């Protein structure tokens, strides 16, 4: 058996190599992004592992079919960038990693909420732009315990975020299209998203991207939110209309935003070896705002996450190549 790992980062390589040694399987790594041109690198391999948020197109699956490759194991959760029907039509089975470390993303969301609630960005701006370093009444923040946190999406990540926010004393409300039983009064579900928009001081997003929630957060929603509200997005960039978010932040419709996922994420954003400078006007504008914390899709990035993403992905490939049915099959 031979496997190939696309889009490999330096931090993943030790885990890939260890997995290969432990299972006595040949695993080749490449930094290449998987697309119709680079699929040829997979010729002669039994399966492909990949990590990218750019599209997996029908043309790509046709190319994999021609190469005789029928197994694609993602190292991430999201499948909104995959043409599932094209994969099926070309007899390519797909797996994902539905839970590599919910704690990692949940902790990052809470970190962003703390950073923005305590106005650390304004302190950094004073130091970096004005070259001053002193106390200011303008830096007065708010305790998490005096705020209502609205969590949208109560899967593994959302539930862990709720646990952490509750640990800090927050009043937590939540919305999910498919609500679960709530034990111990940790939070309460609301019936409508509008309740989250209107009642929350902090809104933390933890749902997948779907056609129904494309640009869910737009100008109308920002107008419904509290003027002191903080939006945290560690889910998917398409859920938030970037232009409307910028207007809401500049006009005072909302107070702050923590943004780890962006619309139209480029290959360069995912390339840890890239040295290209930022040219996107929206990114530049957001990066200069003291009421914004902007990170390059890094909420997941802990040693535990990387290890699990690699191991679960390669385990899934091994199972499929041996004729088995992995638990993480995407249908």
Distances (CA, A) of 265 to 53, 105, 176, 280: 7, 18, 26, 11
- 142 in active site: no
User: By C-alpha distance, which of 192, 205, 193, 200 is closest to 228?
Assistant: 200
Q: What tokens appear for 14 in the block?
A: 């030790």
DSSP string, 59-96: HHHHHHHHTT--EEEESSS--TTB-HHHHHHTT-EEE-
DSSP string, 26-39: EEEE--PPPSTTGG
Q: Which of 159, 160, 166, 236 is catalytic?
A: 236
Cβ atoms 51, 75 nearer than 8 A: yes
- 215 in active site: no
Cα(28)–Cα(16) distance, rounded to whole angstroms?
Answer: 9
DSSP string, 173-241: EEE-SS--PPPTTS-EE-SSHHHHHHH-SEEEE-----STTTT-B-HHHHHHS-TT-EEEE-S-GGGB-
Q: Which of 159, 160, 297, 301 is catalytic?
A: 297
Cβ atoms 160, 102 nearer than 8 A: yes
- 322 in active site: no
Cα(326)–Cα(167) distance, rounded to whole angstroms?
Answer: 36
Q: Which of 12, 75, 166, 265 is catalytic?
A: 265
What does DSSP assign to residue 261? -
Residues in the chain: 331
Q: HSE, CB side, 13 Å, CA atoms: give it for residue 64.
A: 27
The set of catalytic residues is 236, 265, 297
């Amino acid at each position: 058996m031979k496997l190939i790992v696309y889009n490999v980062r330096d931090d993943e390589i030790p885990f890939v190599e260890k997995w290969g040694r432990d299972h006595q399987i040949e695993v080749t790594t490449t930094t290449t992004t998987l697309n119709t041109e680079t699929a040829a690198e997979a010729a002669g391999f039994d399966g492909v592992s990949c990590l990218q948020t750019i599209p997996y197109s029908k043309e790509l699956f046709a190319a994999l079919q021609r190469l005789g490759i029928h197994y694609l194991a993602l190292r991430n959760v999201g499948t909104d960038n995959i043409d599932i029907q094209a994969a099926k039509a070309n007899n390519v089975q797909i797996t994902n990693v539905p839970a590599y470390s919910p704690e990692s993303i949940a902790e990052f969301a809470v970190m962003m909420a703390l950073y923005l609630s305590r106005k650390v960005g304004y302190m950094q701006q004073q130091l970096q732009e004005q070259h001053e370093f002193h106390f200011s009444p303008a830096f007065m923040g708010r305790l998490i315990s005096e705020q209502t946190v609205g969590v949208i999406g109560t899967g593994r990540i959302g539930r862990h975020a709720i646990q952490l926010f509750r640990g800090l004393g927050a009043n937590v409300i939540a919305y999910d299209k498919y609500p679960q039983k709530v034990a111990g009064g940790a939070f309460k579900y609301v019936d409508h998203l509008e309740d989250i928009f209107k009642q929350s001081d902090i809104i933390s997003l933890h749902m997948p991207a779907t056609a129904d929630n494309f640009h869910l957060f737009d100008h109308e929603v920002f107008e419904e939110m509290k003027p002191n509200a903080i939006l945290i997005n560690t889910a998917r960039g398409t859920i938030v209309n970037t232009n409307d978010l910028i207007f809401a932040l500049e006009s005072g419709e909302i107070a702050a935003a923590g943004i780890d996922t962006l619309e139209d994420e480029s290959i360069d954003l995912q390339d840890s070896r890239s040295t290209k400078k930022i040219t996107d006007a929206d990114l530049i504008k957001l990066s200069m705002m003291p009421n914004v914390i902007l990170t390059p899709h890094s909420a997941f990035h802990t040693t535990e996450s990387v290890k699990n993403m690699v191991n679960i992905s390669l385990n899934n490939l091994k199972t499929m190549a041996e004729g088995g049915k992995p638990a993480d099959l995407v249908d």
